[in-house]
Amino acid sequence: MQEIILIKNGELALKGLNRATFESVLVKNIKRRLHGLGHFVISRSQSTTTIEPTEEAFDMDEAVERLSKVFGIAAFQRAAAVEKDMSAILSAACDYLQEPLSQIRTFKVEAKRSDKDFPLTSPEISAEVGGRLLETFGHLSVDVHHPDCVVTVEIRERFAYIRCNQIKGAGGMPVGTGGKAALLISGGIDSPVAGWMMAKRGIVLDAIHFASPPYTSPQAEMKVHDLLRQVAAYSGDIGLYTVPFTEIQEQIRDNCPEELFTLVMRRFMMRIAERIARREDCAALITGESVGQVASQTILSLGCTDAVVGMPVFRPLIGMDKDEIIVRARAIDTFDISIRPYEDCCTVFTPRHPRTRPKRSLLEDAERALDVPALVERAAADAKFEIIRNEF
Amino acid sequence: MECYLDNSATTIPCKAAVAAANTAMLEVFGNPSSLHRYGFEALQMLERARAELAKSLSADSTELYFTPSGTISNNTAVFGAVQLGRRRGNKIVTTAIEHPSVSKCMDRLEEQGFEVVRLLPDSDGNIPLSRFEAAIDAQTILVSAMAVNNEVGSILPFDRLQAVIRQKQSPALLHVDAVQGYMKLPISPKKCGIDLMSMSAHKVHGLKGIGALYIRKGVRIKPYVLGGGQEEGICSGTQGMPAIAAFSAAVGELSDTRERLQRIAGLRDMLLEKLDALPIVTRNSPENALPYILNISLKGIPSQVSVNALSARGVYVSAGSACAKGHRSGVLTAMGLPAERIDTAIRLSLSSYTTEEEIEFCVDAICEIAAQLRKKG
């Protein structure tokens, strides 16, 4: 008996003429993710993608784990592929479903027959398989309205497939169908979640991190690597630009009013990020900001930071509470990394009483003391590039 | 030039220790419990090491047990002592400035229903003997106090605690966590009446991964690591011979403890004299602290920033406490220092390898970062 994986594509079915393109991106992503697990064949029909291992050693459990992190997959199932012969189907059903059925009480069987030459009709197949399962597992009973589990038997061209439990996929759209955007990442809890959410909508990520040695440590940069590696398990490889930020922060400290430190700094970050984003063909910026979380994230403050950017800034967490963000961060395994206690550049020179209702003109005045274009230019040019790989 | 002043975190292994480990790995690689030649040679090496360490404590070699770390020594001592003591009483006296490998055991015991008294230090980090006198009573089954505090270097009155225990007619066992004090202060457990004492090799130029527990002859504790019964059942697990051989070699290499202490005190005084000239420096270690450890605050510069900036200049120190993002140092908090001082604290810790040139180099680096990093205003 051979085991295969059946994948139900996500929103792809809705996408009209683009569907073929989207599906081919998804198939490419799946192939890349499953690389190294052994040989397999991948095929498409209607809205189902089938993965069929062609070698014994293929690691099914690991494949399922990796597929659960591929965006564009709504749900998937493991299924047994057996010969199209009723006695083979019956014995395989008892064998293959033993473990999942031992944990439930009620079930029903659904049969589908796309091969109309199969000697039994769908209701006949359901009846036979249901009967055999009842005989074999004494604790089960049939419930056609609200079963704990639906056993599906599907007679297709080459094989009959037996399956029961559906596994929820990561949902969203295949990464690569939505263009590329640059994520500003500090090392805190929010930005990795923001990146993950945008990747879920099909966007390829680049990341931009601001480092201020000696105020920030090499450990803080390592933390950003570790965070992005978790995100890359969903989004695929991420290009990381680490921007030297010390000089700018020191100049802000020495030349601007303390209450504006953070906002002036945020405006620099946005300018530098946009510069890099344009250079690297990113169509937008992504940040982890949420309204009111800190002084620089009031709507007036956000207005002041947006004023220096000429491209869309996406803030997928904008209306979320910290608790909600933490739930997501835990789910994607970034939370425990985010709370490692290293200073990041956002916590250096934090003013004691930051302004929460800033005026744009005040910021512009403050920035007059600095050679903004030159500082931005230099920082963007000196950014160090590396690729954070989606490693397993 | 470089200057390593984080010796309370760990020390560089001395050459003799590395050579001894090498021999143990390549030539005497047997399991000391094996009966053949290789096993016997390892057993002989193990017992020689034990004797050497016992000598450093003026103890009998049967009183010394190897463990995989100072942490396991502390866990073994604390849990082992209360297991057998619980019939006699329910109270444990310890301090609020213990290392987590003691304090977290105390938290666990408190959850299990023991009454744990944690004595607070004065604002200078010292804990006067009178606080112990007030806390220890006839219901007390364990007194656990460190010899030297790891963050500020204060020396606790560990050598006078047994007298208090006797005077109060308490059945308590006395445990001393001597990880920061061993081979830095002259400590004779027998003279001080210590029942259990923890030590670690890598703080005295040995290797990581080995510690020791002194258990006074006649004292019984219930083991907490179970297994093949090595170390008389006190800490099961095949002995890590390379690290054990290195431990005894490292201790054998160290010169007389009192002489060394005097030399280090000279270096520390030199360091202090230069630092006192800097207006941003506040000293957090008490006057009478162990000279190997000096904790200071640099006004206006968060700990992590000082550590990073000094590291970039080849001076290696530790943050006296975690940064504002992490947890504040429990020790400095217990001393009642203001938050600003806690968040800007760094610890300089010396070793017998520290030189005058290094001290000067370190002071210069601190002056430089003070000029560069201080917040305006």
The answer, for A349 touching chain B at a CB cutoff of 8 Å, is: yes
Query: What pLDDT does residue A156 have?
Result: 86
Residue A250 placed within a domain: yes
Tell which of A149, A170, A191 closes a domain.
Answer: A170
The answer, for A222 touching chain B at a CB cutoff of 8 Å, is: no
Does A16 score more than 80 pLDDT? no
CA distance A147 to chain B (A): 45
Same domain, B287 and B201: no
Chain A hits for B322, CB-CB cut-off 8 Å, are 341
Give me B164's structure tokens. 């208090």
Pairwise CA distance, residues B195 & B219, whole Å: 7
Using pLDDT thresholds of 50, 70 and 90, give the confidence band for residue B321. low
Same domain, A95 and A144: yes
**B305, A348: Cβ pair inside 8 Å?**
yes
CATH code of A133's domain: 3.30.2130.30
pLDDT digits (tens, 9 = 90+) for A262-288: 999 999 999 999 999 999 999 999 999
- Find where tokens 């399922």 sit: A64
Same domain, B219 and B315: no
CA distance B322 to chain A (A): 7
Residue B225 is classified by DSSP as B
Residue A199 placed within a domain: yes
Same domain, B55 and B153: yes
CA distance A359 to chain B (A): 24
Same domain, B44 and B173: yes
Average pLDDT over residues A56-78: 92
Q: Which of B308, B323, B377 lies closest to A213 in CB terms?
A: B308
Same domain, A186 and A293: yes
Query: What pLDDT does residue B272 have?
Result: 95
Same domain, B244 and B306: no
Nearest Cα residue to A33 out of A235, A226, A334: A235
Pairwise CA distance, residues A223 & A230, whole Å: 11
pLDDT digits (tens, 9 = 90+) for A131-160: 999 999 999 999 999 999 999 999 988 889
Give me B176's structure tokens. 């001393």
Same domain, B274 and B243: no
Same domain, B327 and B360: yes
Query: What pLDDT does residue B224 have?
Result: 87
Same domain, B80 and B30: yes
User: Residue A166: how many CB atoms within 10 A of its CB?
Assistant: 16
pLDDT digits (tens, 9 = 90+) for B239-297: 999 999 999 999 999 989 999 999 999 999 999 999 999 999 999 999 999 999 999 99
Query: Which among A186, A189, A212, A217 is the top mutation candidate for probing chain B, defined by the most B β-carbons within 10 Å of its own β-carbon?
Result: A217
A299-335 burial, b for 16+ CB within 10 Å, e for fewer? Answer: eebbebbeebbeeebbbbbbebeeeebbebbeebebb
Query: What mean pLDDT, rounded, does chain A reach?
Result: 91
Q: Which amino acid is at A140?
A: L
CA distance A78 to chain B (A): 43
pLDDT digits (tens, 9 = 90+) for B139-193: 999 999 999 999 999 999 999 999 999 999 999 999 999 999 999 999 999 999 9
Does A62 score more than 70 pLDDT? yes
The answer, for B323 touching chain A at a CB cutoff of 8 Å, is: yes
**A214, B308: Cβ pair inside 8 Å?**
yes
Above pLDDT 90, what percent of chain B? Answer: 90
E-only strand ranges, chain B: 3-4, 64-67, 91-95, 115-119, 140-146, 173-177, 196-200, 211-215, 281-283, 293-298, 315-316, 318-319, 345-349
Does B323 score more than 60 pLDDT? no
Q: Please check whether residue A281 is in contact with residue A369, taking contact to mean a CB–CB distance below 8 angstroms.
A: no
In chain B, the residue whose alpha carbon lies closest to the alpha carbon of A217 is B308
Nearest Cα residue to B203 out of B180, B187, B176: B180
In chain A, the residue whose alpha carbon lies closest to the alpha carbon of B322 is A341
Measured CA angle at B74 (ends B73, B77), to 5 deg: 85
Q: Provide the domain count of chain A.
A: 2
E-only strand ranges, A10-65: 40-45, 48-53
The answer, for A213 touching chain B at a CB cutoff of 8 Å, is: yes
Same domain, A112 and A185: no
| Domain span holding position B189 | 15-253
Tell which of B253, B268, B293 closes a domain.
Answer: B253
Could you tell me the sign of the dihedral formed by the alpha carbons of B351, B355, B361, B367, in that order? Answer: positive
E-only strand ranges, B165-264: 173-177, 196-200, 211-215
CA distance A244 to chain B (A): 15
Same domain, B122 and B104: yes
B192 is catalytic: no
Give me B42's structure tokens. 């390892």
Query: What pLDDT does residue B377 have?
Result: 40
Query: Which among B298, B301, B303, B304 is the top mutation candidate for probing chain A, defined by the most A β-carbons within 10 Å of its own β-carbon?
Result: B304
User: Maximum distance among all alpha carbons in chain B?
Assistant: 73
Residue A340 placed within a domain: yes
Task: Give the SS3 label for residue A65.
Answer: helix
Chain B hits for A342, CB-CB cut-off 8 Å, are 304, 323, 325
Tell which of B253, B275, B297 closes a domain.
Answer: B253
**B305, A254: Cβ pair inside 8 Å?**
no
Same domain, B87 and B228: yes
Using pLDDT thresholds of 50, 70 and 90, give the confidence band for residue A391. confident
Same domain, B103 and B211: yes
Average pLDDT over residues A216-230: 93
Same domain, A231 and A127: no
| Domain span holding position A213 | 180-388
Same domain, A350 and A331: yes
CATH code of B232's domain: 3.40.640.10
The answer, for A314 touching chain B at a CB cutoff of 8 Å, is: no
Give me A91's structure tokens. 């014995």
Same domain, A262 and A138: no
Chain A hits for B309, CB-CB cut-off 8 Å, are 214-215
Tell which of A147, A170, A193 closes a domain.
Answer: A170
Residue A175 placed within a domain: no
Tell which of B206, B227, B253 closes a domain.
Answer: B253
Pairwise CA distance, residues A175 & A204, whole Å: 6
**B324, A214: Cβ pair inside 8 Å?**
no
Q: What is the DSSP string of A131-182?
A: HHHHHH-TT-EE-SSS-SEEEEEEE-SS-EEEE--EEEEEESB-TTSS-EEE
Same domain, B304 and B283: yes
Residue A192 placed within a domain: yes
Same domain, A15 and A103: yes
Pairwise CA distance, residues B125 & B108, whole Å: 25
Q: Please check whether residue A174 is in contact with residue A22, taking contact to mean a CB–CB distance below 8 angstroms.
A: yes
Pairwise CA distance, residues B303 & B341, whole Å: 10
Does B96 score more than 60 pLDDT? yes
Residue A216 is classified by DSSP as S
Above pLDDT 70, what percent of chain A? Answer: 97
Query: Which among B298, B308, B310, B375 is the top mutation candidate for probing chain A, defined by the most A β-carbons within 10 Å of its own β-carbon?
Result: B308
Residue A322 placed within a domain: yes
Query: What pLDDT does residue A341 have?
Result: 83
Sequence-ordered list of residues with C-beta below 8 angstroms from that of B155, at least 6 positions apart, any chain: B126, B147, B148, B181, B185, B288, B289, B290
Tell which of A118, A151, A170 closes a domain.
Answer: A170
Give me A103's structure tokens. 């944990």
Does A169 score more than 50 pLDDT? yes
Average pLDDT over residues B198-227: 96
Give me A104's structure tokens. 């439930």
Residues in chain B: 377
Average pLDDT over residues A349-360: 82
Same domain, A142 and A264: no
Same domain, A163 and A310: no
Tally C-beta pairs within 8 A across A and B. Answer: 39
CA distance B311 to chain A (A): 8
Strands B173-177 and B140-146 come out as: parallel
CATH code of B306's domain: 3.90.1150.10
Q: Provide the domain count of chain B.
A: 2
Pairwise CA distance, residues A67 & B98, whole Å: 48
Using pLDDT thresholds of 50, 70 and 90, give the confidence band for residue B322. very low
Query: What pLDDT does residue B375 have?
Result: 56
Q: Which of B14, B235, B323, B367 is catalytic?
A: B323
What ipTM was predicted for this assembly?
0.75
In chain A, the residue whose alpha carbon lies closest to the alpha carbon of B328 is A341
Same domain, A367 and A224: yes
**A253, B304: Cβ pair inside 8 Å?**
no
Pairwise CA distance, residues B208 & B202, whole Å: 5
Pairwise CA distance, residues B243 & B206, whole Å: 7
